[in-house]
Structure formats: structure tokens, C-alpha cells
Structure 1
Amino acid sequence: MSIIEVRNLTKDYGLSKGIFNINLEVKQGEIFGFVGTNGSGKTTTIRNLMGFIRPNSGNVYILDQEVNYNTTQIMKHIGYVPGEISFPDIGDGDVFIKSQAEMIGLKNMDYANYLIKKFGLDTTANLKHMSKGMKQKTAIVSAFMAKPDILILDEPSTGLDPLMREIFVEVLIEAKQRGSTIFMSSHVFEEVEKTCDRIALLHNGRIVDVVDMKKIRHNELKTYKIGFENEIDYQKYMNENIYLTSKNNKYLQTTVDVKDEQINEFMKELSQYKVKYIKEVKYTLKKYFLKKISEDKKND
């Protein structure tokens, strides 16, 4: 079942700025990542999802309702962390969180208090004097505290230190385990690699690919970095090897790509050489993304 559907969405600001013909769907209970370079259109897409701006063309549906016409009803099911946090001048964090709870009809504050403690959030601090990290934690608590069916998160870990990012990932996984559907933009590749089921790659306002993270985590093409004991073995391997992708003559080092079904043959062949070290280079979402961006530029 699709919880979020985006169909042919275009918001054109002119001068090739905006988003163009965006199509995607987010399934019930999945964490869907939205990754792109700065200015690629992530926030514009999310603002359309939230009904804050109207597209030039196309439609957004959440829970089978079109956002532009049913925004108030839909928002009851959504927890939202904006990309740019600007709090009203109403005092401290405690006042803000309680006012948000009252607005959505949340009476039981147990989970909110759990999150406040987990993030080490000082709710007595004045909203206007909070650091970026404190503001971010306050926004996260407000978005998650009602355990909403849907979470829409625009760069939610921005401003958090590494420890708080790990805690945020824990809270995100908890939400998924409860059955929440999560749409999250992020520039932190490691974060989306850890948490997301599928990821859309955005470049220049267009989706260049939607990838299942299983494809990244279990990539059938393995990359190895090999260092040799002496130049004779190094040169011999260079001349005879069919897996070679790059080399470094200074350090007698090479990089090879080997398919899963070729691993045994590769290791058997390598055993004939004096090798100082062999190290698998992990295939990452970032590498996949950069490859897709490069392909996209060639097609322009």
C-alpha cells in the first residue's frame, strides 16, 4: 500500500531552478530516503508534500487524499521536521512542546518526556537563544512525540553532534518498528544507508534513480585494494590481471573489481603473488550516487 504518491510534480522557479516531473511512491511502513546535492530540489519537494506551496503541475497524494484540497485532515497524521527551523517567540522549549501537544490533542506526554531525556534536551532554554543543535532536538521531539503514522523530515539531523545523530537513528528505527511511514531528506549518506529501505537520488530537480538499499548493501561487484611486496610481482600482476580498475606504481598498489561468482578464481590467482595486504573497499551509497550523477551529466 502506498502512503505517499507524487505524480508528475513540477515547481519551476525559472533559470532551471525547481523540481521537474517528480514521480515517486512511499510504501506503508518503509523509510524512504531523499538524497541530492544542495539546491537539487529536496526542500521544494517536501514543501509540496506538506502543502506549503502549490506546484505548477502534478499532484501529491497522502493517504489517498490530494494534499492541496485535504491538507488539514492529512496533517493530523503527520509529524514534520522543517529544513529551516524558526520558532515563535513564546518563551522556552517546554512552553513550545506543550503548545504543540495541545494543538494536536496529545494528552499523554510520556513519550515526549522519554525523547526529551534521550536527547538530553534542556526545555527550560529560551527558544530564541537555543543553539542550532538544541533547536533541532526540540523540533524532533515535537515531530515524534505523538507517534504519528507518517513522518516527513527535511535534513532532520542537521546541527546534531555525532552522538546525537546515533540517538536520532535509534529513534527513527523505533518509529519504523511501530509501523510509521517515513520520508526523509538528508545529506548524510551514512545516515540514510543505515536506516532507509529505498532512496531516490535527485539531481538538478530531477530524479535520476530510485534504488533499493539491498542493492547497495549486497552489491554483487566487490572492490579490493591490493598491495604487493615487490615490484616484480606487482608488474606481473598488472600485465596478467583481468580485474584491474586502477593502479598506483609508487606504492605498488592496485584496485580490482570482482564479481561474487569470480571470488574463488580471483583468490586462487592472487595466491601466486607475494601480497603485503588485501582489503575490501566497501561499496557505498555515495559511490553509487556519484556514478549516477556522472551518467546523468553525460546524458544532458
Structure 2
Amino acid sequence: MISIKSLSKNYNDNEVLKDINLSFNPGEIHGIVGENGAGKTTLFKAIAGIESFEGVIGYSKGNLKNVMGFLQTDPYFLSKITGKEYLRLLCKARSQKEIAISEKNIFDLPLDQYAETYSTGMQKKLALTGILMQKNDVYILDEPFNGVDIHSNTIINQILLKLKELNKIIILSSHIFSTLYDTCDYLHYLKNGSILRSADKSEFQTIEKEMQGAGIQYKIDKLNLK
């Protein structure tokens, strides 16, 4: 289990995260939703250990960083590294034995090309493939469906359900509510750095309506469309 207690984050006088308290259990898929700038990516980076914070993040099985795969919104790739070399690098980082990489290429990526030449969607699929090959226990996925084609979205959905079946901990964000309905067990609505509401599947629609009503009509009226 991952337990987050009283997590806060400030950038100078700007309080980005405010007293976050959450817990994530194995075999559950949790979605973090909110508008751009709500603090989702900062929260993910704090859990991943690459962002400082106040508060406590505990993991019941030891060092979280050693068993976690973090898919960032815009994955970073070293210059002049091929897709195949990137996957080998990530496997070695988790002491995974040499495996038949071509057999794991479920997204049919051009693995002999430099990863930096890939499209945004291809880079995201390469990064996702890498953390899956690491056989992590925890997966943090920041906008895994963004910029990815429909067929690949379907594959990612099925991957998430398989990870749940394998008793992994999965935390993700998405602006596409249909994918959240399909995969998540719980949603947490983050607004202005605070968790306004957490809900199980039976109450997802409440969160969706709450987000849709958060000033959207006012913004549309300002356009004075005719």
C-alpha cells in the first residue's frame, strides 16, 4: 500500500499542493482528475521521488523508487539512442535479464530508429513499454492516453486491466472521462492543489458533472458567440 499523509508543496509563495491525504492499495486503479494547473503532475513527481515536498509518503514494501515505473507526460530520451537501446537501458536499471525485445514490441515501434525522432505518441508508447518490461509493482501514468491513436488506447486499456489483475498499484491521470470509466476503481478530484472529492465507480458521474460545471458555462458566455 502507498500512504500519503499531509503532503504539501510550495514554489516560493505559491502553494501548489495543499494537505493531500490518499492511500492506494494493490489491485486498484486510481485516477487523478482536474483542470490544467491543478497540481496533478506535481503530485505524481512527488510520489515518484523527483520533487521535494512536505509530508509523508509511505510504501508498505520498502523503497518505492525501486519498484515504480513513472510515465511522464513528455518522456525524455537521450540523444542518439535507439528505441531498442532505450528498452535495454530500462531493463538493466531494474536488473532484468536480457529478453527478446522484439517480442515485447506490442505497439510495432521502429526500434532501430532514434527515439528522439519518434512522434509524441510513439515516444509515449516506447516509454510505457519500457516501464512494463521492468516488471514494476507500482505504475504512475501521467496522461497515458494523450497523443496516442485509438487502437493503442484500446491496448493501453487492456494493459491496465491486466496490471490490476496482477495486483499492481496503478495511479493515472486523464482528461478523457470515457477511459477513466473503463479502467478506474476510484477517482480523486484535484482542484487548486486540494482533493475536493474522492469517489468510487458508482459516483464517477458526480465528479464529471462537478468538473463540467466549474465555470465552463461562464467561459463560453464570455465568447459572446452569435
Q: TM-score under structure 1 normalisation?
A: 0.67
Q: Which residue of 2 aligns with 1:194?
A: 182
CA distance in 2 between counterparts of 1:16 and 1:79 reads: 29
The worse-fitting range, judged by mean Cα deviation, of 183-192 and 101-110 is 101-110
CA distance change for structure 1 residues 292 and 7 in 2, over 3 Å: closer, same or farther?
farther
Identify the structure with the greater strand proportion: 1
Q: Structure 1, residues 18-51: CA drift from partner, whole Å, max 9, x if none?
A: 1111111111210011111000000110111011
CA distance in 2 between counterparts of 1:192 and 1:114 reads: 29
Asked if structure 1 preserves the Cα contact closer than 8 Å seen for 2:6 and 2:55, the reply is yes
In our comparison, the structure showing a higher alpha carbon Rg is 1
Q: Identity over aligned residues, as a percent?
A: 28
Q: Which residue of 1 aligns with 2:134?
A: 146
Q: Please, which of 248, 265, 287 is the counterpart of residue 209 of structure 2?
A: 287
CA distance change for structure 1 residues 13 and 130 in 2, over 3 Å: closer, same or farther?
same
Q: Please, which of 82, 87, 96 is the counterpart of residue 106 of structure 1?
A: 96
**C-alpha displacement of 1:129:** 1.0
Q: Which residue of 2 aligns with 1:10?
A: 8
1:137-176 aligned at under 5 Å gives the runs 137-176=125-164
Asked if structure 2 preserves the Cα contact closer than 8 Å seen for 1:193 and 1:285, the reply is no
**C-alpha displacement of 1:84:** 2.3
CA distance in 1 between counterparts of 2:135 and 2:207 reads: 29
Task: Kindly tell me the number of residue pairs found equivalent between the two proteins.
Answer: 216
CA distance in 1 between counterparts of 2:209 and 2:104 reads: 34
Q: Which residue of 2 aligns with 1:23?
A: 21
**Secondary structure of 1:76's match?**
helix
**C-alpha displacement of 1:86:** 1.3
Provide the aligned C-alpha RMSD in A.
2.1
Asked if structure 2 preserves the Cα contact closer than 8 Å seen for 1:109 and 1:145, the reply is no
Q: Structure 1, residues 75-118: CA drift from partner, whole Å, max 9, x if none?
A: 221112112211112421001111111121111535x54441x2
Q: Which residue of 2 aligns with 1:251?
A: none
Gaps of 5+ in 2: 217-226
**C-alpha displacement of 1:289:** 3.3
CA distance change for structure 1 residues 134 and 35 in 2, over 3 Å: closer, same or farther?
same
Q: Which residue of 2 aligns with 1:237?
A: none
The worse-fitting range, judged by mean Cα deviation, of 190-199 and 79-88 is 79-88
CA distance in 2 between counterparts of 1:101 and 1:29 reads: 23
CA distance in 1 between counterparts of 2:80 and 2:25 reads: 37
**C-alpha displacement of 1:285:** 5.1
CA distance in 1 between counterparts of 2:147 and 2:213 reads: 28
CA distance in 2 between counterparts of 1:169 and 1:17 reads: 34
**C-alpha displacement of 1:210:** 0.5
Q: TM-score under structure 2 normalisation?
A: 0.87
